[in-house]
Chain A
């Protein structure tokens, strides 16, 4: 009884949340400056990166430092699929014929690069994911280095170390937040399913997980492939938003940024990842503006370039030292305790329902 009621409330709050998101997007589209819109797009892409990395690093305990490689795959791969043959002839004259004539829509390109990244994740993960702890981190970092070198050398496809350009500006708020919703929904479903429980069991104790019948490698490959899928989608969205990038765009800076957001939010908390990404993105945006020097209450601060990165790193260190479990730990944000505090009859109803059940 109480459970059915809770399920109904959950479904209603999900719909309400989606409606609120749609309203916010409408507001951003018609009422916000281009600058604010760009920040919102950036935040959405970071949310996808953080939530998908959480599946592997947070839930399964496979601490990957190589996901930026999947992001690069998504960026370059999707660009090669969506660019018109004319633009490709101009920018990438050495492209093989079959690829030079491909011209796909944005959605099929996103799905294809996601699937390609998942396939690469399975191939790379098969040998790597037998390792544990720091060895996995180092091995995945090796994957990132390989991707970087391939990008620089595969000149016909990537223009090497030079800037890659010629993409159409396909990414907008709706694409990004559509992908955010799909990512969070998928992660949520997986986490609350046998697959998710197997992933958590593997993180907690691989020996006992085997003893409960869990195939460790299979669980790790699942999480690695799904998170690679969404990381590549985020890379594709980012590419069609920033429009010009190079091999160095997919290197340690992004890797570090996403991992900071993940850890500040809490390994194993989807809502934590979202909250930390929003908060840290806004903080770093404010600081980036302050770097040029600002006038506050009549005082003018000097220009402090690099301020945002330094504060970012300090926030990270502070969390590691004082709150290593992050904002949310491995728990999820829930409306119930808040509703129950505001509206005592609800709390009593829930308690009564629990007693009845026992």
Chain B
């Protein structure tokens, strides 16, 4: 069964099509890539799927449920988490608290228990802390847990963002340019890491990326967007050879 089904998704800003006629059937466990030149509508697409932007037309179904009109925070609760192109951490909070904010999503004690610090409250806090620390350790962030998130080096901030998204226990993880700003060695490590978290957490992953080796090495299927429309779709090999893709990226060879 498909985890995510998108049909006829449309969004215009001031009359310009940002996304037009977008469709997708994403099988469970897949790693799906979306590429395209700058301004192709990739980020708008992510905002539509994650619930930050309301579509003009079309439907989004997640795990058999119509989520087209659900706000972002409700989608996260259903298991649809994401990262952001320009890292968005809670900068002055500790690394641990960044992850705890998401880890507390599933079961925190009600207010009276908080106020009286009952055993139930302490048990839920211990559970939240344990889950958060496991994720930090997985990404090598354990030693930094008390540091402020904003003080981490860039690469670790990217990892912390993924750790925070995973703390929400998603079924589908949307990664918005996870390799941006990474050198080739770091990008290669990232590819391995994304695969391993997919296997470990049984995730389905959709990513937008500019770094071609990452997309080609990671994705089962790729869609190419240009001016908001899908211009090509298929396996990494097929997409790489598609003349329309070459044209969208490089422009036509001869222009009068």
Chain A positions near chain B (C-beta within 8 angstroms): 186, 189-190, 193-195, 197-198, 200-201, 204-205, 207-216, 330, 358
| Pair A213/B108 contact, Cβ less than 8 Å | no
For A358, the chain B residues whose CB sits under 8 A away are: 142-143
For B89, the chain A residues whose CB sits under 8 A away are: 204-205, 208
Contact of B84 among A198, A208, A330 (CB under 8 A): A208
- Check B77 for interface membership: any CB of A closer than 8 A: yes
Sampled A-B contacts (18; CB under 8 Å): A189-B117, A193-B121, A193-B125, A194-B124, A194-B128, A195-B111, A197-B100, A200-B90, A204-B90, A205-B91, A207-B52, A207-B88, A211-B73, A211-B82, A212-B76, A213-B77, A213-B168, A358-B142
For B73, the chain A residues whose CB sits under 8 A away are: 210-211, 213-216
- In angstroms, how far is the closest chain B Cβ from the Cβ of A86? 39
For B121, the chain A residues whose CB sits under 8 A away are: 193
Closest residue of chain B to A206 (Cβ to Cβ) is B88
| Pair A190/B114 contact, Cβ less than 8 Å | yes
Contact of B91 among A193, A204, A211 (CB under 8 A): A204
| Pair B128/A212 contact, Cβ less than 8 Å | no
| Pair B114/A200 contact, Cβ less than 8 Å | no
For A212, the chain B residues whose CB sits under 8 A away are: 76, 101-102, 105, 164, 167-168
Chain B positions near chain A (C-beta within 8 angstroms): 50, 52, 71-73, 76-77, 81-82, 84, 88-93, 97, 100-102, 104-105, 108-109, 111, 114-115, 117, 121, 124-125, 128, 142-143, 164-165, 167-168
Closest residue of chain B to A185 (Cβ to Cβ) is B115
Closest residue of chain B to A195 (Cβ to Cβ) is B114
For A214, the chain B residues whose CB sits under 8 A away are: 73, 101
Report the bound CA distance from A236 to B179 in whole Å.
57
Contact of B92 among A204, A210, A211, A215 (CB under 8 A): A204
For B84, the chain A residues whose CB sits under 8 A away are: 207-208, 211
For A330, the chain B residues whose CB sits under 8 A away are: 92
- Classify the secondary structure of B's interface with A: helix
Report the bound CA distance from A207 to B90 in whole Å.
10
- In angstroms, how far is the closest chain A Cβ from the Cβ of B204? 17
Report the bound CA distance from A213 to B165 in whole Å.
10
For A198, the chain B residues whose CB sits under 8 A away are: 101, 104
- Max chain B CB contacts within 10 Å: which of A194, A208, A212, A330? A212
| Pair B52/A197 contact, Cβ less than 8 Å | no
For B143, the chain A residues whose CB sits under 8 A away are: 358
Report the bound CA distance from A177 to B100 in whole Å.
34
Contact of A210 among B72, B125, B167 (CB under 8 A): B72
| Pair B90/A208 contact, Cβ less than 8 Å | yes
For B77, the chain A residues whose CB sits under 8 A away are: 213
For A193, the chain B residues whose CB sits under 8 A away are: 108, 114, 121, 125
- In angstroms, how far is the closest chain B Cβ from the Cβ of A266? 12
Top 7 A-B residue pairs of the complex, sorted by shortest distance between their CB atoms: A204-B90, A194-B108, A208-B88, A213-B76, A194-B104, A212-B102, A213-B105
| Pair A211/B76 contact, Cβ less than 8 Å | yes
For B92, the chain A residues whose CB sits under 8 A away are: 204, 330
Q: A189-B115, A193-B114, A194-B128 are in contact. Are A211 and B81 (CB under 8 A)?
A: yes
| Pair A211/B105 contact, Cβ less than 8 Å | no
| Pair A186/B115 contact, Cβ less than 8 Å | yes
Closest residue of chain A to B121 (Cβ to Cβ) is A193
